[in-house]
Structure 1
């Protein structure tokens, strides 16, 4: 009963907000949403406080950020998602960009199984799961990376300093306070990375502005 109540109180407005998406993509996103709510009861994949607004806070956010990322660099053929085990934004990016290979990096085995289930049930052939810790990723293997909610910009570039090669790019999904994170990047890292704003967007509900920040590895 509790599970049914949770599902019934959640909203789904993606088809209204994004009428330009083709029906197959909308179907995939809806299936993802439904499966997320089922698994969230036992795995706590997303905060319970965000369940009712998951369509806006997780799906719309990932759709808008994915568009910014894809538009900023049409040459991307492969990208890694360093997230929190929910698949955002990586799996949404993969659904919207079927020609780009997406690797979702996750070390928690239970969340890995959830991600694999989503990939199979939603049918996302261009996505897979890397069940590894960040420090276990092969050196210089990640040319393009995206991350949402994992850590501050400084911590992310520190954790990926070996796995991202010179010329590599990390896309960070951030809120309005991203400037503070950039100002906190240690001087020694500034000689290796150049931060910059890629694009901004607002969710279909609310007035908060979100941003995609990139850090280019220059040395």
Structure 2
């Protein structure tokens, strides 16, 4: 892994996304990628094997939601320690990145695959992230987190996401789904079959990624209408 090149590209990506990343956070983000590369050789945590792809498709993609979440939580959260739950987190995307970037947020990464939550726990230890927690479970089996935000990245259809993860959102909280193209069909199904609605679709411009990405904001019907 070309650390100096990656550090420069990370700085450029942060500037493009209008977020501040100091030396400590930059080092932690690249160490996360290093740990993922190392564990992936044995445990097959992600389909990506190339560090170049991981940098862009995992790290930069996750960094793209830091700005929108910060705006949301700074505006709407009274608590000084907002609670964010990453559902179907896999190897910690975007949860680990959020924990590094926002140490005052409490981040729970939930996944049904034990080796993936074990990896997130290892990362929390290695990077000294007391705000990062990993839970091995299916999200629908857990008591409510009462979270400010529940986020997912390629976890499920919007309908399934709302049905399984919606009970973990506090009153006035949000579900946020990271998607590729605007999921019009999924939104139609969601609004027909659940009490959740899409009230905003935000385009995500992921640095160095030649693909469409968006963030779908969901809230409960009674809050939307």
- Aligned partner of residue 79 in structure 1, secondary structure: strand
Instruction: Pick which of 205-214 and 35-44 moved more.
Output: 205-214
Q: Tell me the distance in 2 between the aligned counterparts of 1:42 and 1:178.
A: 34
Contact 1:154 1:184 in 2 (8 A): yes
Report the alpha carbon displacement of residue 165 of structure 1 after superposing the two structures with TM. Answer: 4.7
Q: CA RMSD in A?
A: 2.3
Query: Is 2:96 aligned against 1:86?
Result: no
Seen in structure 2, the aligned counterparts of structure 1 residues 161 and 60 have a Cα distance that, compared at 3 Å, is: closer
TM-score w.r.t. length of structure 2: 0.83
**Structure 1 unaligned spans of 5+:** 1-6
**Equivalent residue of 2:109, what SS?**
strand
How do 1:44-83 residues align onto structure 2 when only pairs under 5 Å count? Answer: 44-48=44-48, 51-74=51-74, 75-76=76-77, 77-83=82-88
- Greater helix content: 2
TM-score between the two structures when normalised by the length of structure 1: 0.85
Q: Which moved more, 1:85-94 or 1:42-51?
A: 42-51
Q: Which residue of 2 aligns with 1:105?
A: 110
Please say if residues 196 and 214 of structure 1, whose CA atoms lie closer than 8 Å, have aligned partners that are also in contact. Answer: yes
CA, structure 1 residues 116+197, in 2 after alignment: closer, same or farther (shift >3 Å)? Answer: same
Q: Which runs of 5+ in 2 are unaligned?
A: none
Instruction: Go from structure 1 to structure 2 and tell me whether the alpha carbon gap of 1:139 and 1:128 turns closer, same or farther (over 3 Å shift).
Output: closer
Secondary structure at 1:56's aligned position in 2? Answer: helix
The answer (yes or no) to whether the contact 2:40–2:49 under 8 Å persists in 1 is: no
Q: Does 2:215 match 1:212?
A: yes
> Following the alignment from structure 2 to structure 1, what is the Cα–Cα distance between the partners of residues 205 and 168?
32
